[in-house]
Amino acid sequence: MLSVSGVDLAAAACRAGVVGAFPTANARNVDELDRWLTTLDGVVAAAADAGTPAAPYAPNLIIRQPRLADDLACLARHAVELVITSVGAPGAVIGPLHDAGTAVFADVGTLRHAERAVEQGADGLILLTAGAGGQTGWLNPFAFVRAVRGFFGGPVVLAGGISDGHALWAARTAGYDLAYMGTRFIAAEESLASDGYRRMLVDATLDDVVLTRAFTGLRTNMLAPSIRANGLDPQRLDEQITVADSAQVFGSAAPPGPRRYKDIWSAGHSVSGVAGVLSAAAITEQTQHEYKAAREATRRELR
């Protein structure tokens, strides 16, 4: 989650028993990334020493970014257990990461992307489906996983639309091994989101999510109230803008005006499931209870 997930949220998630993921680009530079990884290594080690093993953390390595080589080298030095790759084919980084003992899960948005990632040696696939927050997919999650299961038997993760444990149980029965839960954790106490962002997530519903190319040049799910709050009309956005031009208008180096993700906020279809601001541990515990309840309800129905 760009500009949202940092070392505190990742550490809290790991302590709670769920994989804490964050884009390496959220660290201001590679030195800060190194410090984050050192902190997270300490969290995992301390939990193991205490007899309560933490879940691993998972840096998200964005392929198309200027810092790729430096970030990759940093991840390899730390022998990170799991790395996510996104926004580009993972082939160039899989070899160095495998040499460091790192498993690589590739973020894919189409069947062809999934096939290519498997051909290049990805250990797992993250299926970016319709409903994911930020830059999103467009494929139905049920159709996508069944098609992928036709040629891949490794770990498959669902990204998009998971708001609670009931949805997580449905994903498991459809053929996914794991699932992302992003939007709900934006409102976590440990996230980098502003208080205004958190309040908007709590107040928003699924109907407040707008699919637009206007801010990134790619399909992106954004919150209509944040668009209006910055003087823009969600119904009158430039849907023909290019990736390069969108960076000039809404990127970090653009002239004064609203910035994507900083002022124009993203959320996925699961935003209706954000009912309050909770700690990562509380969100995890609630999700576990929901998951167990959904699983038991299914078992009762099958008896």
Tell whether 12 is covered by a domain.
yes
d(CA 264, CA 2): 12
Q: Which residues are within 8 A (CB) of 235 and not within 5 positions of it... i.e. 6 or more apart? A: none
Tell whether 2 is covered by a domain.
no
Classify the C-alpha dihedral 237-243-246-252 as positive or negative: positive
Tell whether 97 is covered by a domain.
yes
**Mean pLDDT within 278-286:** 96
pLDDT at 164 over 70: yes
Tell whether 22 is covered by a domain.
yes
What pLDDT, on the 0 to 100 scale, is given for residue 99?
A: 97
**Model pLDDT for residues 188-242, shown as the tens digit of each residue:** 999 999 999 999 999 999 999 999 999 999 999 999 999 999 999 999 999 999 9
Structurally, the chain folds into a number of domains equal to 1
Classify the C-alpha dihedral 114-116-117-119 as positive or negative: positive
Strand 134-135 and strand 156-159: the pairing is unpaired
Share of the chain above pLDDT 70, in %: 99
Structure confidence at residue 3 as a pLDDT band (50, 70, 90):
confident
Q: Determine if residue 62 is left, alpha or beta; phi over 0 gives left, psi from -120 to 50 gives alpha, anything else beta.
A: beta
Task: Check: CB of residue 282 under 8 Å from CB of residue 13.
Answer: no
Tell whether 296 is covered by a domain.
no
d(CA 131, CA 162): 9
Checking 294-303 for CB contacts under 8 A at 24+ apart, the result is 294/165, 294/166, 294/168, 294/169, 294/170, 295/169, 298/169, 298/173
**Which domain covers residue 188, as residue numbers?**
7-192
Strand 220-223 and strand 134-135: the pairing is antiparallel
CATH code, domain with 17: 3.20.20.70
What pLDDT, on the 0 to 100 scale, is given for residue 165?
A: 96
Tokens representing 144 are 């996508």
State the pTM of this model.
0.92
φ/ψ (deg, to 5) at 244:
-65, -45
Tell whether 166 is covered by a domain.
yes
d(CA 94, CA 183): 28
**Model pLDDT for residues 113-136, shown as the tens digit of each residue:** 999 999 999 999 999 999 999 889
What pLDDT, on the 0 to 100 scale, is given for residue 48?
A: 86
Mapping DSSP to helix (H, G, I), strand (E, B) and coil, where does residue 33 land? helix
Tell whether 273 is covered by a domain.
no
Tell whether 54 is covered by a domain.
yes
